[in-house]
Structure formats: structure tokens, C-alpha cells
Amino acid sequence: MKRFSSLLVFVLLCSFSQSYSQVAVSSVKGDAFGNGVHGLGFSGGPASGAGISYRYHTEGKSSLQGIVGVFKPKSTDTFYSFGAEFQQDLTRSNSARFFFAVASSYVFNGTGSNNYSAPFRAGLGVGGEFLLQDAVHFSFQGLFTYFSDGTILPLPQLAVHYYFY
């Protein structure tokens, strides 16, 4: 039991220590930048919501993401989604990074009242981000998502971002 506790403490300390590398970038960019990186794209999932996404990856191992979505199809009610996500990198290479993620959102669908019985959501899990082209990255996450009606489900999330170096 002492070995397991020591190993767990060591892993947590290593995963939360500061690092000066960034999100996965092609070998052409490499470590040529030392500042935070901004990304713009689309994110969709039940824990963080669906819509236009802005991501800021700090100089260290953390990313912050905001998601806003407003959809108004002709034949149905308006859909609003507001979400936020925090990612802590576990490991990185020039073409991929794996991370721990925590997300939360509020989802509204309706004209006067919300059609959803569980509009508040929160998720916790892991994910990976993969380099598609020089500045385009694809993310896949698996989060245990809590709905405000008490339901907990393991659900996926997807995102595509363009990073401005």
C-alpha cells in the first residue's frame, strides 16, 4: 500500500510540474516559440457543450477553453450552449499530446422554457490531441459526464482547432 501511495504521489507531482514546451506542433515549428498558443475551432460534446471554441494553451502544461454555440434551425427551437474546459497535459510529442480534462456547460433548447430536464453538465476524463497539418489539430476525449438530473454516462467529445503560432 505504501508503494502504491508513493507512486501515486510521484505521478501527480510529475503531471502538475511546469514545462516550457507547448501543444504538439510539426517538427518545422518545434520549440521555436516559448509563449502561450491561441487556438480557434469547433468543439462538440455533452460535457463542454457544442459550438465555436477558443483555446489558450499556457507556457506550461495547461489549456483553458471556452465554447459558445447558438443554433436556430428553421423547423425547431433555438439551441444555446455555453461551456468551459480545463486540460492538464500528461505527455506530449511533436505530433500528439495526451491530457486530463475537466469540463462544464449549460445547454438550453426551447422558446420560453428549456426542453432539457438536465441542462447543467460536468465531465471528468482523459483525451488526446493529434496533429493533422501544420497548425490544425484534432482532439478526442472520453469524459464521465454528470447531468443535473443525476445521470452519469461515459461520453465522447470531439474538437478541431487551428493554432496561431
Highest mean predicted confidence (pLDDT) among 4-18, 59-73, 140-154: 140-154
CATH placement of domain 20-164: 2.40.160.20
Segment 89-132, tens digit of pLDDT? 999 887 889 999 999 999 999 888 899 999 999 999 999 999 99
Q: How distant is the alpha carbon of residue 140 from its chain centre?
A: 9
Cell numbers at 44, concatenated:
462538440
Q: Where are the domains of the chain?
A: 20-164
- Residue 16 above 50 pLDDT? no
| pLDDT value of position 32 | 32
- Residue 84 above 90 pLDDT? yes
| pLDDT value of position 26 | 44
Residue 52 half-sphere exposure toward CB, CA atoms < 13 A? 4
Tell me the average pLDDT across 139-158: 97
The residues near 108 (Cβ < 8 Å, ≥ 6 apart) are 78, 79, 80, 81, 114, 116, 119
| pLDDT value of position 112 | 82
Rounded Cα distance, 62 and 67, in Å: 17
Segment 22-62, tens digit of pLDDT? 554 444 343 433 578 999 999 999 999 999 999 999 888 89
